[in-house]
Structure 1
Amino acid sequence: MEQHTSIDVDAPVERVWAVLRDVERWPEWTASVRSVRLLDGGLRVGARARIDQPRIPTTVWTVTALAEGREFTWEASGPGTRTTGRHGIEPVGPGSCRVTLSITQSGWLGAVVGRGYRSLTDRYLAMEAAGLKALVESGAPDASDASD
């Protein structure tokens, strides 16, 4: 079961990527995340992140793929489920891009978990996309300094 959202952002890919990849600062721009703590240093394949979200158990995610400047994927597993989160950016014109965020539930309980969290997942994906867009398009210092 997959859920996703896409949003166009009036900013270059590099600027959006700098904010998106700085996962520990996500709580500053989306209420769907209370805290993110990288457990193994920076964002790279194999790195783990502990994420605390409202109404969802605190979960450790492992980065399984990363294409610098374009996308990253991380996964979390529980009894009978695997949750995959993808975060991608593609250029759509000079100085603008499209961000696509998705969550996929798999495993023998994945469909059940996905249906149970469907409404919440849709809300959180929309909040994350809108928060990212608002921060980056605002020109706030956080948006350009996120990779520092």
Structure 2
Amino acid sequence: MEAVEPMTIRTESRITVDGGIEDVWGYLADVRRWPEWAPTVIECRVRDGERFEPGAWVEQRARDFGWNHRRREQITEVDAPRSMGFAGTMGTSVARWGMEFAPAGDRRTDAMMWVEVDPAKLMRAIPGRALHDRIQRVSDIEMAGIKAAVESDLRAGAGSP
């Protein structure tokens, strides 16, 4: 039997937010607000009230492919206000994702979301390009949601916590 070569799918989604890097960071570090921009997340929190720091677990109630379930991701990186990273699963597969931020001048922020998935089990049956495109589409929707939420908060004078 021939060994199957492992395949990692990586996507990157970029957007410029009309808000300072601290505003964007503050919004995303408040995991309770993730349902506002992540279409599959119903509820989100850092487990046991822990701080948003490496090693802590983010717990979610989610709805994927028409069914509700719980999932969790471990925070792997926190470099405020420049980057954050997570490790968990996507379906039956190991996944990692993160956000990177850079000032873009005049209170604007360049934001980039990257996602890496190592397809396993049933997900290996999905053609690589189709899986990549689906992940990319969801990431692009999420980035547009982040931009809209941060900019709306700033217009309302609320800022991000």
Structure-2 separation of matches of 1:78 and 1:135: 25
1:53 aligns with 2:65: no
> CA shift at 1:35, angstroms?
1.6
Matched residue, 1:94: 106
TM (normalized to structure 1)? 0.81
In the TM superposition, residue 4 of structure 1 has moved relative to its aligned partner by 1.6
Q: CA-atom RMSD, angstroms?
A: 2.8
Q: Which moved more, 1:100-109 or 1:85-94?
A: 100-109
Distance 1:142 1:55 in 2: 34
Aligned-residue sequence identity (percent) comes to 23
Kindly provide the amino acid, as one letter, of the partner of residue 12 in structure 1.
G
In the other structure, the counterpart of 2:53 is 44
Q: Specify every segment of 5 or more residues in structure 1 that has no aligned partner in the other structure, as ranges.
A: none
Match of 1:128 among 142, 145, 160: 142
Partner of 1:106: 118
What is the rounded CA distance, in whole Å, between the counterparts of 2:123 and 2:64 in structure 1?
19
Q: Distance in 2 between matches of 1:110 and 1:88?
A: 30
8 Å contact 1:105–1:113 — kept in the other structure?
no
Is the radius of gyration larger for structure 1 or structure 2?
2
Structure 1 residue 110 displacement after superposition: 10
Could you report, residue by residue, the CA deviation over 1:105-145 in whole angstroms, capped at 9, with x for unpaired residues? 1376697288474444223211211111112222255851x
Indicate the larger mover: 57-66 or 12-21: 57-66
Query: Pairwise mapping of residues 1-148 of structure 1 onto structure 2 (< 5 A)?
Result: 1-40=9-48, 41-55=50-64, 58-77=70-89, 81-106=93-118, 112=124, 115=128, 117-138=131-152, 139-140=154-155, 144=159, 146-147=160-161
Query: Could you say if the C-alpha distance between residues 15 and 134 of structure 1 is closer, same or farther in structure 2, counting changes exceeding 3 Å?
Result: same
Question: Cα 1:46–1:143, aligned 2, differ >3 Å: closer, same or farther?
Answer: farther
The alpha-carbon distance between structure 1 residues 118 and 84, as it changes in their structure 2 partners (threshold 3 A), is same
Q: Which consecutive segments of 4 or more residues in structure 1 shift more than 3 A? A: 77-81, 107-111, 113-120, 140-143
Kindly provide the CA deviation profile for residues 43-83 of structure 1, in whole angstroms up to 9, marking residues without a partner as x: 11000012233326532100111101111100014897320
> What letter corresponds to residue 63 of structure 1 in structure 2?
I
2:41/2:61 contact within 8 Å kept:
yes
